[in-house]
A and B are shown apart, each in its own frame.
Chain A
Amino acid sequence: MIELRHVSKSYNKGKVKAVDDLDLVIQPGEIFGFLGPNGAGKTTTIKLIVGLLKPDSGAVTINGLDNQKEALRCKAMTTYVPDYPAVYERLTGLEYLNFIGDVYGVAKKDRIERIEKWLEIFDLSQAVSSPIQSYSHGMRQKIVLMAALLPAPRVMVWDEPMVGLDPRASFHLKEIMREHCDQGKTLFFSTHIMEVAEKLCDRIGIINKGKLIACGSMDELKKLNHEQQESLENIFLELTEK
């Protein structure tokens, strides 16, 4: 479970409010899609959840633990995928996964089993022994996703995980996301692909100028909309145009 209580974060000594008094709870087993225009505060919110940024006020808790006070315990149950797959280019894919396995304390048997499975799913078997430097953008994204899945985390916080993936990999990823959340895990992810959010998410949040302007299931969002728009794209456009 992820809980944000009155979380605010600003830049430039308070001049730019990136996240403004955000209140949000994501339940276990839930896939939560986070939408918003560029610069709305999506990445800042995600970074606040995983502890890359410290909130100016408010608190973020992961399964009941404050992510600032109990940072290590929170990190041990959370994995993060950044908006750009900046990983150690000089390591091979396998060395990188092994590093993640070591720092998250994944047992060797589980490591082998999971890595083998995802190498096949993401079609990375041929590249995994090569330096990440030689990977395309999509391949890097796949290795970052594999690293995020390897510890079998209870909470996953992903920033635009589909970017750069080919259609097959996207399809498999969506299945994996659903599968994980059906096991009671929590997934919070941002996306610009409305179709993915509409079909995959249990609930959707829309952020604009640092404020959460809408939150709920697809049906709830439709009810919020005065013009009774059918598609998420239209709802999004209407809510964020002001």
Chain B
Amino acid sequence: MVARKQLALMLGLITCMIILAVGCTNKSASVNTGIEANASTENISADADHSVSGGTFTFAVSEDAIILGNPPTLMKQSDPNYAAPAVERLFRRDQQGEPEPYLAESYNIADDNLSITIELKQGIKFHDSSDFNAHVVKWNLDRYIATERAELAKVQSVEAAGDYTVKLHLKEFDGMLLQNLSGIPGMMVSQKSVEENGEAWAEMNPIGTGAYQFVSWDRDQRIVFKRFEGYWQGTPELDKLVIEVIVDPFAQKASFETGEIDAIMSLGPKDANELKQADKYNIEASDLASSVLGLLPDSAHSDSVYSNVKVRQAVWHAINFEAIAETMGYGYHEATFQLATEASTANNPNVKGYPYDPERAKALLKEAGYADGFATTLYAQNTPGYSDILTAVQAFLQEVGITAKVELVDQGKYFEMLTGGPEKGGWKNGLTIVPFTIVPNELGAYARLLGPGVSAARLPVVYNPDELQDFIGKASNEPDPAKAKSMIHDMQKVATDDYAAFFWIYATKNISATQPYVKGANFNAPQWTPEQIKLEE
């Protein structure tokens, strides 16, 4: 009898715990605009619904955003992509990566190069029905300037010169300004919504002028948007757009294969190659590089073997980077002797580089006084794939008598090495893999890691010739695009042919996968164009 009572008690307890668990299961984890109060309770199916006109487009990304709707708050470089369906920018990069007016209609640079007048498109509404005009643009830009971040550091003030005319007064000309206005600083959010609800609210609620209106955000799960009927370019095709956060690449690929998702925004070359073999999906890679992997020597140390330019040239000749790119990238990576792919306007076709030639490498080592080779260390962050690259490099170096050991470090240690000078750490007598992310373009990638004034904080152990820094500084301030381009070309040649300053392993490209019925996803464009997506029957 007692045992039965205890059993009943236990069962009751278990039932209570289940109810509690189910009851506790968070219903309010999603963030909602408040504009559409019922949206979060809608059953947002991850399955694509192709029967409905427009349908739901669901695609996977591998990490969540941090902030969606408040550009002045620090954001990850990838955050604007997550907000892009809702928040548009003043400028947008074209297929060549050049900024062109988007919410802006046109722009004019003053003869003295100290002001830029931007005419805005008219008749555009934010999702909260407020107007997009010069006053809102000034409010957005003023808030960004107040953060004192580098992108708008050369803007003295912003003037609303008319209802749809904005004038940017500059301290000095900034060749990167229009590029930056196509990035985070150019994201236009509703002044009305932010002022009414506060910045903290805005961080989670992107209210812009985009084709899709924000519905909900379940952190680390999904961000949901729905069609914005009042969109300035006409009613968008899709009913809903869902960004599904799937961290594990295996789960991403499997979800894509089962049709749970319609696309993967960015996937690894191995997975891309496997999906391509199936011959039923659209697997495409971008023309321009998303990043270029550098193998950087501690050449700023006077006692390092890499301080000798002949050694650097020998190392470049010793390693068959083309073979590494082919093996690691399954045809999607591009071997390069400069910080650009062949398709980029930053590519200088006159760069000779150092083709794979072990005999020439041995000769150069002999000239440098290292006929018997030397010992070195190869470092990389413990990112998938990097150890394979280093193992290949190790084998190539061994062929010319350089004995290398491989050392993988965690993310924390890696960032310490990147910022640590000779006193603080950095790395000694070795080569480290450092990816140069092409943001906003090749010049930006150079400038932010190796530009004038940056060396003290970034990569202080890498020899960064004054000549190169001069080129970066001048190209960044050159108003004439043709002259700026020519300087970038010169910079590429000097960095590679004169100094062999940084070894480029290969350029990585964004690879996307879409189901055959998805059109206009444009994940590989320099900037994503969510308003162009449509699903065919």
Task: Say if A and B assemble together.
Answer: no
Residues of B within 8 A of A (CB): none
